[in-house]
């Protein structure tokens, strides 16, 4: 029996290739004269500490929870298998067996803690709980299942606080309009409120329509206020709206446009002066509809609550919260209760501000661990993904001189590239810290990656994981070629049929983007403040990009793997790891080859450092900052989930070897860090082409080692220059300007920008 390969290889590639943008703003901040902002509010008012309240008595995995008055309602799901099923786990037999069953349970437990009371147990294998809502003190449930025809079937079930059935009726009629994102029932008015992306419908319990309201936008979530009034949260024409609904009259009652949005919040009934409450990765918030005001209630990170593990934050009142946490190691969910401290009880610590476009869970865990183990200082995350115009806001802060102590790099800082930051003197040289530290040293790191990240022999940032960036091609055409100049690349492309696509997308803009992402360093020298966009090399880039179509959007061809095999497409953009290399080698019947992007040195194998930290040159305490930063190149950090390639390959030599071992394993095993490693076996597919995944040989692993050893450059982006180039290139692509005119315009604008911003 073959074990099915866990989905994620292609998802990881798509994640890395997606262009990121920040989500909406929430929270309060002080604005600088330059228009930037950085968190400066008094954190003492947002600190919560663990209370002695505990919750127990739940069976199964927690799938939903809600606060109903003085009770916490918890829904769980348990998947039970007999001995035959356990033996067949992860096999095809598991999917076909009828001996497994799902059990759904609903519990109630006082918010003051205690042992949960079972209200409902359902062993219907096809049943799931989609929503739980408070209904005049009763527990309302929206249940979903399948009828005998295999069609969606839905039920509203109302239970009292003891678990007795108050009312139950079928609402399968809701699927006549599509699949709703939220359903609630109001028993006094006998109204079923079904919320779809573009419509909110009110029907009676028999399915007779009472009213229909257009959202005039995209429905992001729906819920109830503290007074039981339904409210929908809509994204409409670049603004976010909260609309309350008068279900008796079948109309919208009030519309509020939150000034900075609600970060796509999951709306929950409010407490105290707040009509609704919601949580993000960083904070718990309260929102007052009448005043149109968002207020921070709890800072999770400052309270040493690992926000990366938070599944949900439930606000009981302004002084108490319950947090559902997920333990990645055990796979279990637990509830923890917290109480707000008095501002005067806050223990002052030296604060180090960490600035980032987006704080992944691993970074948050690092911050929590550091803050708990250091009594004299703490790291405070400034996560710009919480704000509107993410990149611009971060750049405005930096431009206004609001520097952080530590930077988390995402191929750059806001609109600034890493090279630009270094040229501006923003980063501290970490070489002396590395060389004298007793715990980590340059010798711990993969030589090619460490050297590629240096600038003039100095180390300005350190990273935990990397991904190889190269072009995937057909060896029948490319032979043993490993690198080329722009002229050689253009000569090769010109030798192919005119209708052959260069990359997966045939858009001229996308093709230009591929080249700029890989070769911007060839055309800009931030240290010297010079640009080289009027050179023959860059003109070759423009000419190659002009081979594409005039489509403005991504024009992905679903047959790209087949086209690569037949020569209709010349390259695929590769984020290489061993899984992907094995996959493409299978797709191309053993004829996949990996070649660098074109550049002046013919050394186009790049590494993306996917999680890296730098210390500000104006950091308030550089020694303390180094104690935090060095964690990212520690074995403790890199041993967590290294096997699932979430960030790519570990940068430490020892962890890199541990990582490679997982690809050659012929049997499952538990590694020295307690991670359970599965031997690779299964089938993956793309564009109707399938290939087997199996343990790799040492020779296959060596191909990847050679790619890593070939790295001499770090992938970096420069969004401001990218925008300038794309704007001017558009006229050339449209035939309105000549090649030479376009190159000259780009050279002029780019040179001015670099001179003004170096």
The single residue listed with the structure tokens 């407490």 is 271
Mean pLDDT of 442-463: 95
- Is residue 418 within 8 Å of 409, Cβ to Cβ? yes
Give the percent of the chain with pLDDT over 90.
45
The single residue listed with the structure tokens 């993956």 is 684
Top-confidence range, 114-123, 204-213, 305-314, 382-391: 204-213
What's the confidence (pLDDT) of residue 570?
Answer: 92
What's the confidence (pLDDT) of residue 591?
Answer: 85
8-state DSSP, 458: B
- Tell whether the model's pLDDT for residue 330 goes beyond 80: no
**Among 752, 730, 753, which Cα is nearest to 741's?**
730
Q: Which two tokens stand for residue 150?
A: 């295999």
- Tell whether the model's pLDDT for residue 273 goes beyond 90: yes
Which residues fall within 8 angstroms of residue 27, CB to CB, at 6 or more apart?
39, 260, 283, 285, 294, 296, 386, 387
pLDDT in tens, 377-425: 989 888 888 776 788 888 888 878 888 999 999 777 877 889 999 998 9
More confident residue, 588 or 268: 268
**Among 114, 106, 152, which Cα is nearest to 133's?**
106
Q: Which two tokens stand for residue 467?
A: 């991904």
Helix (H), strand (E), coil (C) string for 428-455: CCCHHHHHHCCCCCHHHECHHHHHHCCE
Q: Which two tokens stand for residue 305?
A: 């609550």
Quick one: which H or E segment has residue 114?
strand 114-115
- Is residue 558 within 8 Å of 503, Cβ to Cβ? no
What's the confidence (pLDDT) of residue 654?
Answer: 96
The single residue listed with the structure tokens 């780009």 is 746
Which residues fall within 8 angstroms of residue 593, CB to CB, at 6 or more apart?
472, 473, 474, 475, 478, 479, 480
- Tell whether the model's pLDDT for residue 96 goes beyond 70: no
Of 93-102, 103-112, 500-509, 746-755, which gets the smallest average pLDDT?
93-102
Top-confidence range, 250-259, 414-423, 430-439: 430-439
- Tell whether the model's pLDDT for residue 38 goes beyond 60: no
> Confidence class of residue 11 from pLDDT cuts 50, 70 and 90?
very low
> Confidence class of residue 2 from pLDDT cuts 50, 70 and 90?
very low
Mean pLDDT of 352-366: 88
More confident residue, 315 or 280: 315
What's the confidence (pLDDT) of residue 39?
Answer: 44
Name the strands in the sheet holding 101-110, side by side, starting at the edge strand that comes first in the sequence.
61-68, 71-80, 101-110, 117-122
State the CB neighbour count (10 A cutoff) for residue 153: 18
What's the confidence (pLDDT) of residue 88?
Answer: 44
- Pair type for strands 61-68 and 191-195: unpaired
Quick one: which H or E segment has residue 377?
strand 377-383
Mean pLDDT of 24-29: 32
What's the confidence (pLDDT) of residue 621?
Answer: 95
The single residue listed with the structure tokens 């069609």 is 151
> Confidence class of residue 92 from pLDDT cuts 50, 70 and 90?
very low
More confident residue, 9 or 410: 410
Of 49-58, 146-155, 512-521, 650-659, which gets the smallest average pLDDT?
146-155
Mean pLDDT of 728-738: 95
More confident residue, 623 or 62: 623
How does 180-198 read in b/e, with b if 16+ C-beta sit within 10 Å?
bbbbbbbeeeebbbbbbee
Helix residue ranges, H only, 497-559: 508-523, 536-545
- Tell whether the model's pLDDT for residue 583 goes beyond 90: no
- Is residue 50 within 8 Å of 306, Cβ to Cβ? no
Query: Rounded to whole angstroms, how far apart are CA atoms 513 and 573?
Result: 12
**Among 691, 281, 126, 309, which Cα is nearest to 298's?**
281
Strand, helix or coil for residue 400? coil
Mean pLDDT (the chain) is 84
pTM as predicted: 0.74
- Tell whether the model's pLDDT for residue 84 goes beyond 60: no
What's the confidence (pLDDT) of residue 394?
Answer: 85
More confident residue, 711 or 682: 711
Helix residue ranges, H only, 18-90: 83-87
- Is residue 179 within 8 Å of 154, Cβ to Cβ? no
Strand, helix or coil for residue 145? strand
What's the confidence (pLDDT) of residue 725?
Answer: 95
- Tell whether the model's pLDDT for residue 151 goes beyond 80: no
> Confidence class of residue 329 from pLDDT cuts 50, 70 and 90?
low
Give the relative orientation of helices 739-757 and 719-733 as an angle to the nearest 10 degrees.
160
What's the confidence (pLDDT) of residue 264?
Answer: 66
* Residue 467: strand pairing partners: 608
Mean pLDDT of 117-125: 83
Q: Which two tokens stand for residue 544?
A: 């190659």
Give the relative orientation of helices 9-17 and 578-587 as an angle to the nearest 10 degrees.
110
**Sign for the pseudo-dihedral over CA of 341, 344, 347, 350:** positive
pLDDT in tens, 541-556: 999 999 988 876 555 5
What's the confidence (pLDDT) of residue 563?
Answer: 81
* Residue 124: strand pairing partners: none
**Among 259, 265, 308, which Cα is nearest to 284's?**
265
Quick one: which H or E segment has residue 156?
strand 152-159
Helix residue ranges, H only, 92-167: 92-96
What's the confidence (pLDDT) of residue 147?
Answer: 60
What's the confidence (pLDDT) of residue 93?
Answer: 40
Query: Rounded to whole angstroms, how far apart are CA atoms 178 and 605?
Result: 48
What's the confidence (pLDDT) of residue 364?
Answer: 85
- Tell whether the model's pLDDT for residue 208 goes beyond 50: yes
**Among 540, 529, 557, 537, which Cα is nearest to 758's?**
529
pLDDT in tens, 687-708: 666 777 889 999 989 999 999 9
* Residue 286: strand pairing partners: 277, 295
- Tell whether the model's pLDDT for residue 752 goes beyond 90: yes
- Pair type for strands 465-474 and 462-463: unpaired
8-state DSSP, 270: -
Mean pLDDT of 350-361: 89
């Amino acid at each position: 029996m073959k074990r099915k390969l866990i989905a994620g290889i292609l998802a990881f590639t798509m994640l890395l290739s997606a262009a990121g943008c920040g989500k909406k703003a929430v929270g309060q901040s002080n604005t600088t004269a330059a228009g930037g902002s950085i968190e400066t509010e008094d954190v003492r008012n947002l600190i919560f500490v663990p209370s002695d309240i505990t919750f127990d008595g739940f069976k199964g995995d927690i799938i939903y929870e809600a606060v109903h008055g003085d009770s916490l309602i918890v829904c769980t799901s348990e998947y039970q298998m007999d001995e035959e099923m356990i033996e067949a786990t992860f096999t095809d037999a598991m999917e076909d067996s009828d001996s497994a069953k799902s059990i759904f349970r609903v519990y109630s437990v006082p918010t003051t803690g205690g042992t949960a009371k079972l209200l409902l147990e359902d062993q219907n294998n096809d049943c799931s709980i989609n929503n739980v809502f408070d209904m005049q003190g009763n527990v309302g449930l929206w249940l979903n299942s399948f009828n005998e025809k295999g069609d969606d079937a839905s039920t509203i079930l109302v239970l009292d606080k003891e678990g007795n059935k108050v009312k139950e009726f079928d609402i399968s009629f809701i699927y006549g309009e599509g699949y709703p994102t939220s359903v609630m029932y109001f028993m006094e008015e006998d109204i079923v409120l079904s919320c779809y992306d573009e419509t909110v419908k009110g029907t009676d319990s028999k399915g007779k329509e009472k009213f229909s309201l257009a959202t005039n936008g995209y429905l992001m979530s729906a819920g109830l206020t503290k007074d039981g009034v339904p409210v929908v949260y809509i994204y409409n024409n670049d603004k976010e709206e909260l609309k309350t609904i008068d279900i008796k009259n079948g109309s919208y009652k009030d519309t509020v446009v939150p000034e900075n949005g609600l970060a796509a919040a999951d709306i929950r009934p409010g407490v105290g002066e707040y009509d609704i409450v919601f949580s993000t990765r960083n904070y718990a918030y309260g929102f007052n509809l009448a005043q149109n005001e968002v207020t921070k209630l709890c800072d999770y990170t400052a309270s040493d609550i690992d926000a990366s593990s938070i599944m949900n934050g439930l606000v009981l009142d302004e002084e108490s919260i319950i947090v559902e946490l997920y333990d990645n190691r055990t796979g279990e969910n637990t509830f923890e209760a917290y109480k707000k401290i008095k501002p005067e009880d806050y223990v002052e610590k030296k604060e180090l501000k960490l600035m980032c476009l987006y704080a992944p869970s691993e970074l948050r865990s690092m911050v929590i661990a550091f803050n708990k183990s250091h009594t004299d200082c703490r790291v405070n995350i400034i996560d710009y993904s919480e704000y509107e115009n993410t990149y611009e806001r971060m750049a405005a802060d930096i431009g206004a001189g609001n520097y952080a102590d530590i930077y988390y790099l995402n191929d750059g800082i806001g609109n600034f590239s890493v090279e630009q930051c270094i040229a501006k003197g923003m980063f501290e040289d970490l070489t002396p810290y590395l060389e004298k530290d007793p715990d980590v040293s340059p010798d711990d790191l993969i030589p090619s990656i460490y050297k590629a990240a240096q600038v003039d022999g100095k180390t300005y940032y350190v990273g935990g994981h990397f991904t190889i960036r190269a072009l995937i091609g057909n060896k029948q055409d490319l032979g043993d070629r490993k690198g080329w100049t722009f002229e050689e690349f253009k000569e090769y492309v010109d030798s192919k049929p005119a209708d052959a696509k260069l990359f997966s997308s045939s858009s001229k803009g996308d093709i230009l983007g591929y080249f700029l992402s890989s070769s911007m360093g060839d055309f800009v020298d931030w240290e010297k403040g010079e640009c080289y966009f009027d050179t023959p090399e860059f003109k070759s880039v423009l000419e190659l990009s002009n081979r594409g179509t005039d489509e403005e959007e991504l024009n992905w061809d679903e047959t790209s793997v087949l086209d690569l095999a037949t020569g209709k497409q010349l390259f695929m953009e590769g984020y290489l790891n061993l899984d992907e290399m094995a996959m493409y080698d299978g797709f191309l019947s053993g004829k996949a080859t990996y070649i660098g992007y074109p550049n002046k040195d013919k050394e186009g194998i790049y590494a993306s450092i996917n999680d890296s930290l730098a210390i500000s040159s104006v950091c308030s305490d550089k020694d303390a900052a180094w104690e935090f930063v060095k964690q990212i190149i520690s074995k403790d950090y890199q041993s967590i989930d290294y096997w699932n390639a979430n960030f790519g390959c570990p940068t430490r030599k020892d962890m890199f070897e541990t990582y490679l071992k997982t690809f050659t394993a012929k049997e499952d095993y538990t590694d020295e860090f307690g991670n359970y490693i599965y031997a690779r076996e299964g089938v993956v597919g793309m564009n109707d082409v399938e290939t087997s995944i199996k343990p790799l040989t040492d020779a296959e692993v060596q191909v990847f080692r050679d790619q890593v050893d070939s790295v001499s450059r770090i992938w970096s982006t420069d969004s401001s220059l990218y925008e300038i180039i794309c704007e001017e290139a558009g006229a050339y692509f449209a035939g309105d300007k000549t090649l030479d005119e376009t190159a000259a315009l780009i050279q002029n604008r780019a040179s001015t920008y670099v001179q003004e911003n170096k």
